[in-house]
Structure 1
Amino acid sequence: MAVIGNVAASRYHELVASSLRQVEVESAAQWALGDAALEIEPIREWGGHLRIGEGGQRVEDSLKYFAEDVGLSAATVRTYRWVAAKWPAEHRVAGVSWEVHKILASADEPFEVIAHPPLNERTGRYSWDGDAAKRAVGWKTSTPVTVEEKVEAVTELVQDEAVACRVAVDLLKRREVVFVAMRDGDARYMVNEAQFEQAEADDEFDEEFQDVLAADELGGGEGQERFDDPATVVRHWHRQMEFVDLIAVCQGFIAGATRLVPKLRGQEFTERQHGQVGSVLEKLRATADWIETAVATGQTDLDEALAALLRGE
């Protein structure tokens, strides 16, 4: 037997049916309260003269008295009154909750919008609910469903830089995410820029240990016990990590090309696309030469011509 929550499906549908009747009752009460408040204090045109009674009573005072007498807050009464004014009785749709009417009141053409309910993919019926109404007027939904809504929700959660960094690192470990991200020109530029800055920082890190290493080499005479300086150990680890990263970058390119190139069979490219591919391949060849030189000689200096080429100048 199907179960929804903690109840059987049959019981769930019974609860839905009875709750719909309660929603109708609640909506009817909200409309009645709004109509009453609107009768007590009709909404006048903007800039119209508001007559103050003999006792100096204002609109706010009348609504406040009414709210107190019916046991509600003045803000709630004002909301009921505003919605009632936005939806004359002849435009209110039976079977659609007061809450949906309140949200759709902010639409440019509310009477037209409410007449065309969206498709609920779960139920297969065309109907209104709170999130559907918010989506129709461009508001943030309570439960994100579309890609755009989910992206907006995630973006709000990663406003903090520390959180954003952790999330970005984790996401970039997902292969498909990396490929999609690198198709974005701005993202690709920022990654390349960060790589250059990180390379410079690594060079500075290496230079800090040069004097320590030189002193260790000069002081290591015969008969002396070998001393593994912590700086030497750290440098060794650092070099190993750099080597592993280099191999990973090369293998990643090979794997990506192996995956993508076979898909190009039979495709025709424009002259502009040929030029773009040629430009990228030129950068790849220059970068490969740079890597080979760095591995063979230990010289990692980037000459001006290559730097300009990699920057796309």
Structure 2
Amino acid sequence: MTTLQDETRVEPGTDRWAELIEIGDRAMRSNWDLGDAALEIAPMGSDTSNNGAMDNLRRYADEIGCAWESIDVYRKVAAAWPLPRRLGCPWSVHQVLMAHPHLIRDAMTVRLEHEADRLSEEWESNRWATAEAIHLELTEGGKTVRGLAAEIGRSDTHVTFMAKAWRAYLGKQPDDRPPFNQAYQAAKQGKPKPDPAPEPDDEF
């Protein structure tokens, strides 16, 4: 099935392709320009594995003398940060904070970028630690979902999903876990199923 992305992507041999080659030659130090050009050739969301878009992107990278791995990174960053959302800070800041857009600030420096990256790692670690604490309160602390939710000021469903997210990766090392938000969303959808564990009095 032809998608909108397939209809709008740029093909080799077209006038726009030639224009993008000129942009690539002229902007070899502008990651944003290269990323935007790459998006025109292989838009995110299109079936790039079957429609030849990635082959075209490799060809584009060859024609402008840019490493394929680099052009694909530029493409992904440009997609994560459309033009209206780009702030007055280095491209590298946008790259690091792709998964944590709430941490970016206008005129953020590279030093602050590293600080934001550290904070994002701490936030991720803290979310897993909170989920573990909830799980332990329910399975070993004698708390019910409803009682614990009232104690910490959150909803019953939030407590349930936090516990399920932890139980799904019980015994896993931090490097073997997905980002916490992914585990939480999976718990909301009922997947993956958690390993058997003692159930609290209240229903999960």
- TM bucket (normalised to shorter chain) is 0.3 to 0.5
Ranked by relative contact order (alpha carbons within 8 Å, sequence separation 6 or more), the top structure is: 2
Q: Which has the higher helix share?
A: 1
Higher alpha-carbon Rg:
1
| TM-score (structure 1 length as normaliser) | 0.27
TM-score, length of structure 2 as denominator length: 0.40
